[in-house]
Amino acid sequence: MSTRHAALITGGAGFIGTNLADRLVQEGRRDVIVFDDLSRPGVLQNIEWLTRQHGERVELIRGDIRDAAAVEDAVSQAAEVYHLAAQVAVTTSLRDPVRDFEINARGTLNVLEAIRRQASPPPLIFTSTNKVYGALEDIELADRSSRCTPISRGVRRFGIDEMRPLDFHSPYGCSKGAADQYVRDYARSFGLRALVFRMSCIYGPHQQGNEDQGWVAHFLICARDGNPVTVFGDGLQVRDVLFVDDLVDAFLLGMQNIEKLSARAFNIGGGSLNTLSLLELLGFIEQQQRAKTAVRQAAARTGDQRYFVSNTSAFSAATGWQARVGVAEGLRRLTAWLSTEGPEASTPRGHQVTGTAPALVGAMR
């Protein structure tokens, strides 16, 4: 792999990183360096798949984002950087807020400093979260039969845009929010080419969802394996969901337009045309399986955003990007992948899922 011609993806063995790496190599844009500590269940399967598909064009560096020297060594080989590595769950951040900070905030600072020290700093895209907007408790909602709906016609039609004030909530929200702001300020203060994606729910192939992250895949996996699903709250929580192929399109357009977009933050999700409540996903599953899904109810979790839908018009106006894969098609594609290549079935044990934003940020990873 040629030095300084590769794309570096931190957390690249995760679900989003795997899809991004595959596209970059498949389209001949870049060879890829995956920087990952391989701590998340299922990521070895992703690495094995990437290796089968692309051989030496994907290089694995096993490293921890908290190791500044390892991060700098990886960045020194990169022509562009996608920083996806993170601790992604509110529940985990509440149990160990220091570790959450070290990974999300300090880890991001390690990446920024490594980029800043290069003679020719590579451009950066950072994946943030809708959790930076807080619990959104001021948005008035009406409960319908299967979902909650904003009273405000504007919010109902367009969703929530980047003018919404930041309101970090939970240690996870604080650590990701701090990283979000550091990325933007390093672009302003040091002239780095860097932009932020504040992501809503991402779903698609290679997502091995569990009770703390990846709720769409998690529901589908539980149903496939005959496990009950625990819904926290009333199940009316709504998110916009974005199929991972559309997110990868956004990454590529963001990098192509990095000069004019640098220092900006964009809400990225399925938007108002691609929304889903927990109850509606359960309904889809039951329709597909022609059987009822076992559901357990539990109390709502603190800080749960009952409603979040991204207004993506700013990024669309800047780049021409649009989400192309609708909810029904995306769910069909993910279901097909899970049935053929997804994680092996587990023993039924009452998996749980929450509607809280960080658990929905595929990202997540």
Distance CA 6, CA 122 (A): 10
* Alpha-carbon distance values, 299 to 169, 231, 304, 342 (Å): 19, 8, 11, 30
Tell me the one-letter amino acid at 97.
P
Q: Is 307 a catalytic residue?
A: no
Distance CA 340, CA 355 (A): 27
Q: Which of 82, 172, 203, 307 is catalytic?
A: 172
* Alpha-carbon distance values, 282 to 24, 276, 295, 305, 331 (Å): 34, 10, 9, 19, 12
Residue 181's contacts (CB-CB under 8 Å, 6 or more residues apart) are 166
Gyration radius of the chain over CA positions: 19
* Alpha-carbon distance values, 284 to 289, 304, 309, 337 (Å): 9, 23, 20, 16
Distance CA 290, CA 232 (A): 24
Tokens for 219? 């529901």
Q: 142 — phi, psi (to 5°)?
A: -115, 135
Distance CA 46, CA 174 (A): 29
As annotated, the active-site residues are: 172
